[in-house]
Amino acid sequence: MDKKEENYNKQAHTILKENQIGFFTPFGPTIFQARWPAPYIQYMNDWMDKVVADQDLTKAYDHSRHLAGNLRHEMRMEQDMWKYKPSSEKFSMADWVGNLINNYIAKIFTTLSVDSKGTDGKNLEMKGCNIIDAWINDQYAGDFNPLHKHGGDVSSVTFLKVPESIVKGTEKDQAGYLLFSDGRFQQYISTHFVQPPAVGIIYLFPSWLLHTVYPFRGEGARRSMSFNSNVTTNHGDWN
């Protein structure tokens, strides 16, 4: 292992230790939940507030034609935003996410058996990842995101703002919640994994994993950031 790779692994371990909440395998696919440090959340919220307050910027960054959602605002993030590094943090946004994905991929590789090419998952290592696209959504009362999947290898969702009605539980049932779905209904099998939104929480999941967001009735924006990424390993592209 060279010095650069050793430093990368140390950074990844630091991210995992400080921000990991847990791995979940509710129905096969692995979902990783962690928490962003607050300065990154503030930065993304400040950018989105600026964009939606300006009609010209809203038009320039509109990403809705590329997405499945029926939402008020769906804004494409600038690539340069990933270079942002708060003075209080060790990593830029890109490095923070890259290290998180490294931990996620490492966990998945330990569960893989030998594939048709004779590659054992335990011998796989992530060598890099590339964020293909990223966007921020503002969902208001009555808006919804239908069941859909993403492109790339690993996708993500982060919660930036959550309406008070969802936080306090005054909404009906699971209004405004995020639902992951895999498989069909059968006895003794779980096909849904439902999570309430909470500011700062990030989920990583396979890009093909179906998910949806339920509508809600309360006031205010349910704001989230999503991205898709491609992963390369020591055996080439992950897929």
The answer to whether domain 3-237 has CATH 2.60.40.10 is no
pLDDT at 194: 92
pLDDT at 132: 95
pLDDT in tens, 35-65: 999 999 999 999 999 999 999 999 999 999 9
Alpha-carbon distance 175 to 227, whole Å?
23
pLDDT at 185: 76
Q: For the chain, which ranges sit under pLDDT 70?
A: 1-20, 112-122, 236, 238-239
pLDDT at 8: 44
pLDDT in tens, 171-208: 998 999 999 999 877 777 788 899 999 999 999 999 99
Boundaries of every domain in the chain = 3-237
pLDDT at 42: 98
Alpha-carbon distance 197 to 75, whole Å?
19
Given the DSSP bridges, would you call strands 178-181 and 210-213 parallel, antiparallel or unpaired?
A: antiparallel
User: If we measure between CA atoms, which residue out of 91, 93, 73 comes closest to residue 82?
Assistant: 93
Beta strands in 77-191 (DSSP E): 126-139, 145-148, 154-161, 178-181
